[in-house]
Structures are given as structure tokens and as C-alpha cells.
Structure 1
Amino acid sequence: MRAQLARVDAVLVQALIAAALSFAHLHDVASAAGQDGWKAWAYPVSVDLLLVAAWRRLRSGVAKTAAWCWFVIALTASLGANVATAGLLDLGDVPAWLRILVAGWPAVAFLGGTLLAHSAPKTAADAEDQDGEPVIEAQPELPPVPVPTALVAHARKVAAEHRARTGAVIDTSTLRARLGVPAPLAEAIAAQL
């Protein structure tokens, strides 16, 4: 346990150092490109927030292509600033193309953040839950699910036991878990209780 904590602490310290250095490099490039005061400090925040938003989208498993696109854009901005401040760029004489990129960054970051935050809802084809299993959304007009009489009788016993133990009517998700049946079947059973 102690070795694991030491490893986590070392990783956290390394991450904080890397973040601080990258943050400073982004600030320096923005400042050299004509953004002064609070604006120069807003650039690293903007780049890092876009990275985080893209990473969260990648982890959610939804719209991964768009997430990778915005992640690469933000990573390129961060890495570009890190490399530029390594002496490859004269920060006293910033080229016009870099001034244009820095000036255009807020619009790019706003677009990326908005698209990542407000994308289309999950579909059965591209959605997966956190266990990696496909998520099937309920269809509003499915044919009725036939429920065996013996299963309804067993569900009534489970529901009565639940009510006696908790004092509340059993909900469909609890009934589903107790019976070990798919959601459509649990809904059909609950409708007959």
C-alpha cells in the first residue's frame, strides 16, 4: 500500500510540474504574440480546458472521432508553445503567422468546447456503458413482451418481500436486478404487478 501511495505521489508531483511548465510556456507565447495582462493567462486555461473536455469525451466512448480531433488540436497548441519557448522562436520578434494563430485561438477553443459539450445524444450503435457493454436505448413502440405466468407469480413474491422489508413498492430497476431479467421484460412484469 505504501509503495502504491509513493508511486501515486510521484506521478502527481510529475503531473503538477509538467502542467505548471506547460502553463507558463503557453502564457509566454500568448504574451509574446501581443496578448497582455489577464488575456495572456487565459490562453493556457483555454488550452487545458479543451484538452480536459476532449479527454472526458474520449473516456465516455461517445463521438470519439470528434474527441480525438479536438484533443490533437489542443495538444498541438500546448506542445507547440512548449517547443517554441525552447529557443526555436525569438519571443522578441514573433512571426505574423503565430500572432494570427494566437489571436484566432479563442474562437477555435470556443467551437471545440461547444461541440464537445453539446453533441448528439448516444445511440445504440456508438454508445457503450463504462463496463464496455453496448447500451441499448428503450424504443418507444416495441411489441408487448410475453411474460410467463410463473415468472409473474415469482415477481409478486419478490415484490411482497421487498415491501415487507422496506415499506416501499418495488421499482422496476430493483425488480429487474432481483429477477435477473432484461429491462423490457422487467417493465412488462412490473406492469402486471
Structure 2
Amino acid sequence: MPRALRCDAVLVQAVIAGALSFAHLHDLAAAAGQDGWKGWAYPISVDLLLVAAWRRLRTSGPSRLAWCWFLIALIASLGANVATAGFLDLAHPPAWLRFGIAGWPALAFLGGTLLAHTPAAPRTEGAPHSGAEEVQPEPVVAESSPAPDPAPELAPAADPLPAVETAPVVPAALLDHARKIATEYRSRTGTEIDTTTLRARLGVPPQLADAIAAQLD
């Protein structure tokens, strides 16, 4: 019950604040000569642009485009609220106010079109999934050096010497790619990348991942 009451209080507060902002925008548009239905269309345009920019920020992550139009709509809404508080003579509105009100429809149309049709930038690792799959590099198979021949037997009863395992050869291009991944991981998390994560990002066998990690240290 307390949680339901708290949610209802937030909803009521949002409705009251939205209604006041809506009325202030209408009053400012009407004072600038936009009477009738046009005076009511201005607050709808401002609020819709504000909601569209905020939704773009929530769904596609931060971007300069969404932040730009969010701030433009916020300044238009906040400016109307402040202007109707007695800072401007609405009976004799200044020329710049009439100019801004008259040019707002074109500006809002441009912002809405860009927000709706500009593709969002791909998210980095660790951000919420937005439908685009991350492209993983193709696994690189390193060429291993042939194992050395066993040493000759010194005596009939002596066992042959075990073959010496050699570390796999790491291609220079793969090592450069691994360094870029490690640098990006360090700047994002503040810690060094571990072998398991490096192997998953590169898509290489465990032995090759160990060899790459050893050269990154």
C-alpha cells in the first residue's frame, strides 16, 4: 500500500507540472499572436519533441543529436514558464519573441525528423543490447612449429627423451588487435584484461590466448 501511494503521488505531481507548463506555453504563443488552435498546438509540439529526444537517449544511449534536441525543447519549455512569470510584457511582446514563436514549427519539424530517421550509433560492450550483434573477429589459427624429433637412445634400456613443447607463434596483426582490445578494456574498466576475456574477444584456442596474454604483459 505505501508503494502504491508513492507511485500515485509521483503521477499526480507529473500531471500538475505538465499542465502548468502546457498552459504557460499556450499563453506565450497566444501573446505572440498565435491564437485559436495554433496557440494549443505549440505546447504539444514542444512537449512531444522533449519526449522524443528523451526516448532516443533511453533506447539508443547518449548521442549529440538526442542531447541537442532535448536541450532545445527543454529551453523552450523552461523559457515559456519563466517568461509568463512577469519578466516579459505579454501585452506588448518583443519582436524576438514573435520571431521565435513563428519559427518554432519548422525547427520542431526538423528535430523530430532527425530523431526519427537518423540511425543510432552502435553500443559498446557492457551497454544494454539494442538489437545489433557485435561482430567478432574470425578465429586465427596460428602455425605451430613442428615438434622436434626424439633424441636417440643412449642405451637399449633408456627411454626416449620427451618432446619439448613450443609456444605457438603469434601473428603480428593478431597481436596488434589484441593490444587494442586490452587498451580499450583497461580504459573502460580500469583493470587489465584477463586471459579468458581476451580469448573470448579474439576467438582463439587457449594455448594461443595464453601466448598473446604473455606478450601483452
The whole-number CA distance in structure 2 between the counterparts of 1:15 and 1:110 is 26
Partner residue in 2 for 1:19: 18
Aligned-residue sequence identity (percent) comes to 64
CA separation in 2, counterparts of 1:127 and 1:48? 32
Unaligned ranges ≥5, structure 2: 142-199, 204-217
Name the residue aligned to 2:101.
Answer: 102
Q: TM-score, normalised by structure 1?
A: 0.66
Identify the structure with the greater helix proportion: 1
Are the aligned partners of 2:61 and 2:123 in contact in 1 as well (CA < 8 Å)? no
Letter in 2 for 1:41: W
Moved over 4 A (4+): 124-127, 142-146
Q: CA–CA distance in 1 between the matches of 2:36 and 2:126?
A: 43
1:40-95 deviation line (CA, Å, top 9, x unaligned):
10000000000000000110134522111111100000000000001111110000
Q: 1:35 aligns to what SS in structure 2?
A: coil
Query: In the alignment, is residue 37 of structure 1 matched against residue 36 of structure 2?
Result: yes
Determine which of 132, 136, 150 is the counterpart of 2:133.
136
Task: Please give the TM-score of this superposition, normalised by the length of structure 2.
Answer: 0.59
Is the contact made by 2:53 and 2:67 (CA closer than 8 Å) also made in structure 1?
A: yes
Matched residues, number? 143
Q: Any unmatched runs of 5+ in structure 1?
A: 147-181, 186-193
Where 2:67 maps in the other structure, the secondary structure is helix
Amino acid at match of 1:85: T
CA contact (8 A) 2:53 2:69 kept: yes
Task: Tell me the amino acid that sits aligned with residue 9 of structure 1.
Answer: D
Superposition CA RMSD, Å: 2.8
User: Do the aligned partners of residues 89 and 127 (structure 1) sit closer, same or farther apart at CA in structure 2, a change above 3 Å counting?
Assistant: farther
Change in Cα spacing, 1:108 to 1:3, as seen in structure 2 (3 Å) is same
Match of 2:72 in 1: 73
- The corresponding residue for 1:113 is 112
- Report the residue type matching 2:80 in the other structure: A
- The SS at the match of 1:110 is helix
Amino acid at match of 2:25: L
Q: Relative to 1, partners in 2 of residues 1:124 and 1:90: Cα closer, same or farther, differing over 3 Å?
A: closer
Name the structure 1 match of 2:56.
57
* Contact 1:33 1:102 (C-alpha < 8 Å) held by counterparts: yes
The 3 A distance-change label for structure 1 pair 104 and 46 is: same
